Chains A and B, each alone.
Chain A
Amino acid sequence: MEYVNASSVQQVLDTLAQADGGAVVLAGGTDLMVDFKAGKVQPQVWVDVTRVPELCGITVEDGKLVIGAAVTLTTIARSPLVRQYFPSLAQGCGTVGSLQIRNSATLVGNVVSAQPAGDGAMSLAPLAPTFTVLSAQGARQLSMGEMYAGFARSTIDHSRELVTKISIPLPQPGEAASFVRLELRKSLSLPMLNCAAMVHVEDGLVTWARITMAPVGVGPVRAQAAEAFLAGKPLTDENMAQAGQLALENANPRSNPLRGSREYRLDTLPVIIRRALEACRDQLAH
């Protein structure tokens, strides 16, 4: 086995192309190394991208917050830029695993590992992010929904493609976002349920809402019925509660022996969706 500590994006792409499917991109590695030890991934070449300078920054460019693919969750959670524009993203990224995990793991990794309820990915989901993906075939831009191919399956082929950055449009006046996690334990645990919301409110009425939730399907699932219901309405207690109920229309949770039965998840999903909306309302009130 070979291990390449890549120093440029070009080197990553060249190495991937050369290995022709035998190499795997390694960022934080907190999921991949566990899979590797279990024999689930067996690359001939690891391409470590954590020290590629182009992938390591958090910047604001053209009205967008841009987060490099190698930026760790800790860096995001503590970034003044992230905290200023998207405190809920800082919160979600600051919840994954443990501090040691967040010191290695990346937000892109949290999306590409494609666990439906990754907390970083969830807090990112309603912010309308765009992922820039490079490969020998060139560049493409993917939306959040386009990143997930199925349960724990990403559309990104990590043996041939490199996600370089996430771009998030900066929030406009009247916009707020939130993240809520229903947890058995603060550290070292996946959530029983998590959700995130972003709303745009003008003259007291919701212009649009984006609500995402998991694990109720593939990746962070959009609560489309709830979003549609809220459009044009004020964020009253009744409307937020109703939106929570409507979220069930797009949710199909499974039972998990540890993190709650389907029934429990269906019971509490409306509660956490409502709480996420309440948090948005509270932010807008200040």
Chain B
Amino acid sequence: MKYVGQSIPRNDGFDKVTGRGLFTFDVTLPRMVYGKVLRSPYAHAKVLSIDTSAAEALPGVRAVCTFKNTSNKVWNGAAPMFITPLPHKPVLDQTIFTDEPKYIGDEVAAVAADTEAIAEQAVKLIKVEWQELPAVYDPLEAVKPESPEVQPKFANPDFHNICGGPIVLEFGGDPTSAFDQCDAVVEYDVTLPRVKQAQMEPHGAVATYSPDGRLEVICTTQSLYPTKMILAEALDIPVSKVTVKNAPYVGGGFGVRIGLSGKAEILAAALSMQCFRPVKLIYTREEDFTCSDSRHGGYLKCKLGAKADGTFVAIDTQAWLNTGAYATFGTDLVGVCGACGTAGAYAIPNFRYTGWPVYTNQMTAGAMRGFGTPQGNAVVEPAIELMAEKLGMDPIELRKKNSTREDTKNWFPFPPGSCGTNECLDKAAAAIGWYDKHGKAGERTGRIRRGVGISAGTHVSNAAPFCVDYNTVILRIERDGTLFVNSSIPEIGPGSTTACLQVAADLIGVPYKDAVMKFGDTDAAPFDIGSHATRTLYTVSYVMADAGKKLRKDIFDWVGPKLGIDPENLDMTDGIITCDGKQVATLADMASQAHLEGKQFLASSCQVPPNCLPFYAQAAEVEVDMETGMVKVIKVAAAHDVGKAVNPPLCRGQIEGGVLQGVGYAVREEMTYVEGKGFYNKGFHSYMLPTADDRPEIESILVENPDPSGVFGIIGIGECGVNPTLAAIGNAVADATGVRFHEFPLTPSRVLAGLKAAGKA
């Protein structure tokens, strides 16, 4: 391996540090007009009448769309619409516009005009007569039969306000009877907030519909093909005539645009189909915060049983998650919460999970980094802590005793792969000073108290076989011997395109330096699901390995006869073709010669990649002000088994960014709903994600146990950084104060109330 493992500067760095790199936000096209949306001020209402005549009459207005003049076909704006494997069916419950808005912010109409100001003015001129209808906001309220129905047409007919599900996962024996055989049983419940991805580039799209029936959309999606398919289906355009591309850069994703970006793409497209001009529609920060999928909040409870020696016997978890007004990923995510969040990290012979995706009249919840795993982790890891207390064991020893091993049989339909949990636990513990600091709550006095906590877990490195997740790549060698890779993955920030090229250069045996990847465009290559599920590098590498093998064969089969060497005896590294270790030609020369003879070396592959479990552990140290309830996170040590770090700084960047999102989730971030007004958090000033001068020390620790399924041993890392952080911090606060909290984030108000209730403040 010449390039894999090297800290190579990312290939889009120059574009991004000079301001040259284009984002959707930066795109301007000839004759372009601007879109603005009319959103419901009510959580649930009926539009009795709508009059757009004044808006239409305003000079500069080019199109006005409502539910009256656009398709009312139902669809699902997230990727599940086209990646749900048979025999399951996705929940289709959205339309472009609605005459019965189901949350504050729901789209009722939109306008395209020559300037944003005119469009805004025109939106205000649309007259709507509303009839307010009863609404429900909390999942535990919404499941009661007497509560208003959110999606009467599309909810599960057998369960009130349940979206798709319930999701029941079972493995091994019956946990109910297994608990009887346990020496110790503990229970823990937790209430989790909605949090927001808060990616830096707001949702946006520039859609151009031509009168001859072609639609091209430049947008912020992180999954280009699913978006293309959704647009084609919802707008009744042949899939072949829809192009979806990034600009090519996307200002972050974190799950919020797996499928449509809010609804930017389809709103812009609908407007463009009326005025035949490019329509640019960029969400305001307020729209982004209050009208696009958040992380699921909700209620979880977990029962864990073990033998006296600490061996886990049974676990039974239930979750009621607030999926909001529309499905998007509601059903899928609630499944992952159980599968990855509550199973997989430990060998527990009797496992059951029941998840309820609950419709409410709030903004939809959907995918956000971790995709249900952080929620599951947040209920299981404190339960393990309680078990350790009950059994008088060190929490790390208890986890190590039960962690999943290579031969563990568990719920997953694929082997766990390499299992680095124990090494991660040991390294995180050492980095935080665990054995000097843990378990001293009784000795701690004074206004400020410190404590440490730990959490371990797992996730996935791909979404197959739970989703229709596959990739396609096309590899070619240019006339001068340089490599060109076509893939329709996006670059949403991790450096996927840099790391993929490092892998490709080693797989094929060409120089990295001039290798190029065309990405972020459905015209670049056939189907790829896009960046989600911690999978981009792991899965694209897998498919490139197959295509790379074919490409080398294509090269050697042509070069061999030219040189009079059996192709079987040829090898190539860094663009040098060798036989028995001796250079016989350069790829550059051979490609150039091949060109003159009408031959280009190329290969493609379309594969369903495998999957494996990424294991990790994080330890946190916190400081609690016992008088104000202020929790300050001092340090997080994050040890992740990444199999093989293809590009260590990029890999650490994934961990560090995830950890800080987890810190926000644990102590500050929360979307607070105010009845009648909607979410209070309409911008960065009212959403307390961490800033540079608030962050704790973050120590990222790369553990490298090569995975048998991953190319060069790679395991997924993308989402993992955020998954265990909240639980580690919660456990640290319990260690510092002696008080176990059941509601997050641990804001000063909540902590002080808890300390007071426990007689500690």
Contacts and interface: CB of A to CB of B under 8 A. Distances in A.
Contacts of A260: 748-749
Given A182-B630, A258-B681, A187 B693 contact: yes
Nearest to B692: A187
Given A258-B686, A264-B629, 5 more contacts: A182-B748, A184-B668, A184-B688, A187-B694, A188-B685
A101 B753 CA distance: 34
A189 B693 contact: no
Contact of A268 (B627, B674, B690): B627
Interface string A169-202: 0000000000000101111111010000000000
Contacts of B681: 258
B688 A271 contact: no
Interface string B48-80: 000000000000000000000000000000000
B680 interface: yes
Contact of B688 (A182, A185, A261, A272): A185
Given A257-B672, A257-B674, A271-B627, A187 B691 contact: yes
A187 B688 CA distance: 10
B752 A185 contact: no
Contact of A192 (B674, B694, B748): B748
7 contacts: A182-B630, A188-B684, A257-B680, A258-B672, A258-B680, A258-B688, A264-B629
Nearest to A186: B693
B749 A264 contact: yes
Nearest to B690: A185
A151 to B, nearest CB: 18
Interface SS, B side: loop
B628 A182 contact: yes
A267 B690 CA distance: 25
B12 to A, nearest CB: 26
Most buried by B among A258, A260, A268: A258
A268 B680 contact: no
A185 B749 CA distance: 14
B691 A185 contact: yes
B747 interface: yes
A257 to B, nearest CB: 4
B628 A268 contact: yes
A208 to B, nearest CB: 27
Contacts of B690: 185
Contacts of B628: 182, 268, 271-272
Contacts of A258: 672, 680-681, 686, 688
A261 B756 CA distance: 15
Most buried by A among B627, B628, B692, B756: B628
Interface size, B (range): 20 to 34
A178 B680 CA distance: 32
Contacts of B684: 188
Contacts, number: 53
Most buried by B among A182, A268, A272: A268
B671 to A, nearest CB: 10
Interface of B: 627-630, 668, 672, 674, 680-681, 684-686, 688, 690-694, 747-749, 752-753, 756
A186 B748 contact: no
A192 B686 CA distance: 12
A192 B688 CA distance: 12
A261 B628 CA distance: 13
A186 B684 CA distance: 13
A264 B680 contact: no
Interface in A233-286: 257-258, 260-261, 263-264, 267-268, 271-272
Contacts of A188: 684-685, 691
Nearest to A258: B686
Interface SS, A side: loop
Contacts of A187: 691-694
Given A184-B668, A185-B668, A258-B681, A268 B752 contact: yes
A261 B674 contact: no
A260 B752 CA distance: 11
A213 B49 CA distance: 50
Contacts of B629: 264, 268
A190 B685 CA distance: 8
A268 B691 CA distance: 24
Contacts of A182: 628, 630, 748
Contacts of A267: 752, 756
Contacts of B668: 184-185
Contacts of A257: 672, 674, 680
Given A271-B627, A271-B628, A189 B685 contact: yes
Contacts of B672: 257-258
Q: Which 8 A-B pairs have the closest CB atoms?
A: A257-B680, A264-B749, A257-B672, A187-B691, A186-B693, A271-B627, A184-B688, A268-B628
A189 B627 contact: no
A186 B691 contact: yes
A165 to B, nearest CB: 30
A187 B627 CA distance: 22
A261 B681 CA distance: 16
Contacts of A186: 691, 693-694
B426 to A, nearest CB: 34
Contacts of B685: 188-190
A114 to B, nearest CB: 17
Contact of A185 (B627, B674, B694, B756): B694
A91 to B, nearest CB: 14
A188 B749 CA distance: 20
Contacts of A185: 668, 688, 690-691, 694
Contacts of B674: 257
A35 to B, nearest CB: 14
Nearest to A261: B749
Contacts of B756: 267
B747 A184 contact: yes
B729 to A, nearest CB: 16
A188 B756 CA distance: 29
Contacts of B692: 187
Nearest to B628: A268
B121 to A, nearest CB: 11
Nearest to A192: B748
Most buried by A among B674, B691, B748: B748
A261 to B, nearest CB: 6
Nearest to B689: A185
Nearest to A97: B685
A175 B715 CA distance: 63
A184 B688 CA distance: 7
B288 to A, nearest CB: 17
Contacts of B747: 184
B685 to A, nearest CB: 6
A2 B324 CA distance: 46
Contacts of A261: 749
A258 B685 CA distance: 10
A271 B628 CA distance: 8
Nearest to B749: A264
Nearest to B685: A188
A180 to B, nearest CB: 10
A21 B748 CA distance: 44
Nearest to B625: A271
A190 B756 CA distance: 25
A264 B693 contact: no
A95 B693 CA distance: 12
A188 B752 CA distance: 24
A60 to B, nearest CB: 32
Contact of A264 (B686, B688, B694, B752): B752
A268 B694 contact: no
A33 to B, nearest CB: 14
Contacts of A264: 629, 748-749, 752-753
Contacts of B627: 268, 271
B91 to A, nearest CB: 31
